Amino acid sequence: MDGSDNSDNSERSDCSDCSDCSDCSGRGTAADLEAAIRRAAQENVESSTARLFLPLAAVERLCGEHCLSPADVETASLALGIAPERYLRNFETYTLAEQVRFLRAHVALVGLGGLGGYVLELLCRAGVGNIRGADGDEFAPSNLNRQLYGTLRSLGGFKAAAAAARVAQINPATEFMPVAAYLNGQEMEQFCAGAQVCVDALGGLRDRPALARAAAAADIPLVTAAVAGQGGYVATVLPGQASPADFFGTDPASLAAAAENTMGTPAPAVATAAAILSAEVLAIVCGRGPQLAGSMLLFDLGQMSFEKVRL
Amino acid sequence: MNITIKCFASLSRFTPPDAEAYPVEAGLTVAGLIDLLGIPEEDIKLVFVNGSHVERSVSLAEGDRVGLFPAVGGG
């Protein structure tokens, strides 16, 4: 820290979340940060692509020295063409510019159980910067066959709490807002407001149409998935389009007849659906746009078949 | 004429042994096929023919690929 005046630096986030920092006036200018990133990246060359990268430990150090969040430091590094080490293996699949969009993205995730746990894990590792996740449920022993954050230690605890603890262990650049509550229709709308995409990771049929309406009201795409046995689907619903769940019904007879009630929800199908969900969310927030809009990807792991159909 | 049939999830038990080349009369509708297969009508929520969602009144043609999908909501 060089003690120079940074009052004209409008690019900086305000430092509101580091109340224990008594030396913010010394955090330096954007140019100081850039120079520090270049110094830290110097001689760190990834062997297969010959790219400079910013070591993981340097991100944490620069956050402290410059009073910035991990997402701020990583964004500054990406803007210089220097990949943060933790995202190295995403390239060439996601460009530096797309990685910046991940860090700036806002995702609303409803359900933190089977589908939601894996989705959160994959989005967090990809570097999605802002995820709000809601689930009023607590972990039960019957969740252990598939739910990533359901462990012997987390049993009985809120899924939202276990999810928050996990995110903190994986990627401090992800700001995760846990909501340990079941959302009603109006709350779903509020939950979607300001997000770029909503993920339906609910279990059961009952609440899915309401979530589709909430996403439409917020004018954002809904990415939805469900499984039963070895099969399932993933779909993207744009505002105004029909959702698969609209065809399934929410009356008691329909809820009782849902295929998962007899076939269950084994882990491979759940993880498959969640991985496809995550890839679609990343396609949306990085600016490429949805690949399943108005479509359903149907899969059957029993026969290893995948088919994309128009809804 | 022959069609192919794919029954998803809980409907898979209705899959006929010759689902890859299932012989039907020309002009058979989706509703007629569902009847032939013995699937309770209310158990099918979505029908796809050649990758597109269709109504049950649609008539089938040689080589059509029919997908039958039940209510699926697990997560």
Give chain A positions within 8 Å (CB) of B70: 228, 257-259
- Determine the Cα–Cα distance for residues A284 and B53; give it in Å rounded to an integer: 24
Nearest CB to B73 within list A258, A298, A300: A258
Domains in chain A, CATH or no CATH each: 24-99 (no CATH), 105-310 (3.40.50.720)
Tens digit of each residue's pLDDT (9 = 90 or more) over A210-264: 999 999 999 999 999 999 999 999 999 999 999 999 999 999 999 999 999 999 9
Q: Are the C-beta atoms of A136 and A214 separated by less than 8 Å?
A: no
Provide the shortest C-alpha distance from residue A273 to chain B (in Å). Answer: 9
- Confidence (pLDDT) at B68: 98
- Confidence (pLDDT) at A84: 97
Domain-located, residue B37: yes
Between these two residues, A165 and A7, which has the higher pLDDT value? A165
| Residue A23 banded pLDDT, cuts 50, 70, 90 | low
pLDDT of residue A15 exceeding 50 = no
Provide the shortest C-alpha distance from residue A263 to chain B (in Å). Answer: 7
CB of B43 within 8 Å of any CB in chain A? yes
- Confidence (pLDDT) at B52: 98
Domain-located, residue B75: no
Give chain A positions within 8 Å (CB) of B9: 228-229, 231-232, 259, 263, 300
**With an 8 Å Cβ cutoff, are A116 and B75 in contact?**
yes
Give chain B positions within 8 Å (CB) of A113: 75
pLDDT of residue A13 exceeding 60 = no
| Residue of chain A minimizing CA distance to B43 | A257
Average pLDDT over residues A2-6: 39
**With an 8 Å Cβ cutoff, are A111 and B75 in contact?**
yes
CA distance readout (Å), A260 to A121, A193, B38 = 24, 31, 21
Nearest CB to A115 within list B6, B9, B75: B75
| Residue A16 banded pLDDT, cuts 50, 70, 90 | very low
Domain-located, residue B17: yes
Token pair listed for A66: 């410059």
Interface A-B: count of C-beta contacts within 8 A: 111
Give chain B positions within 8 Å (CB) of A244: 46
**Total number of domains constituting chain B:** 1
> To the nearest whole number, what is the mean pLDDT of chain A?
92
Domain that holds residue B40: 2-69
pLDDT of residue A9 exceeding 50 = no
- Confidence (pLDDT) at A51: 85
**With an 8 Å Cβ cutoff, are B52 and A310 in contact?**
yes
- Confidence (pLDDT) at B74: 97
**What is the pTM assigned to this prediction?**
0.92
CB of B4 within 8 Å of any CB in chain A? no
| Residue A24 banded pLDDT, cuts 50, 70, 90 | low
Q: Is the peptide bond before A92 cis (omega within 30 degrees of 0)?
A: yes
Domain-located, residue B74: no
**With an 8 Å Cβ cutoff, are A259 and B52 in contact?**
no
Provide the shortest C-alpha distance from residue A225 to chain B (in Å). Answer: 8
Nearest CB to A259 within list B10, B51, B75: B10
Domain-located, residue B65: yes
Domain with B15 in it: what CATH number? 3.10.20.30
| Residue A91 banded pLDDT, cuts 50, 70, 90 | confident
Tens digit of each residue's pLDDT (9 = 90 or more) over B28-41: 999 999 999 999 99
Disruptive mutation site among B10, B12, B52, B72 for chain A (greatest number of A CBs within 10 Å): B72
Average pLDDT over residues A186-204: 98
**With an 8 Å Cβ cutoff, are B75 and A114 in contact?**
yes
Q: Kindly state the helix (H) or strand (E) to which residue B35 belongs, with its residue range.
A: helix B30-37
Question: Which neighbouring-strand residues pair with A235?
Answer: A224, A296
Average pLDDT over residues A59-69: 96
Nearest CB to B74 within list A247, A265, A310: A265
Token pair listed for A215: 């996403």
Q: Residue for token digits 């009508």?
A: B41
Between these two residues, A9 and A282, which has the higher pLDDT value? A282
- Confidence (pLDDT) at A49: 78
What is the DSSP track for chain A? ------TT-TTS---TT-TT-S-GGGS--HHHHHHHHHHHHTT-EETTTTEEEE-HHHHHHHHHHHT--HHHHHHHHHHTT-EEGGGGGGTTTS-HHHHHHHHH-EEEEE--SHHHHHHHHHHHHHT-SEEEEE---B--GGGTTT-TT--TTTTTSBHHHHHHHHHHHH-TT-EEEEE-S---HHHHHHHHTT-SEEEE--SSSTTHHHHHHHHHHTT--EEEEEEETTEEEEEEE-TTSPPGGGGT--SHHHHHH-THHHH---HHHHHHHHHHHHHHHHHHHTTS--SSBTEEEEEETTTTEEEEEE-
pLDDT of residue A201 exceeding 60 = yes
CB of B17 within 8 Å of any CB in chain A? no
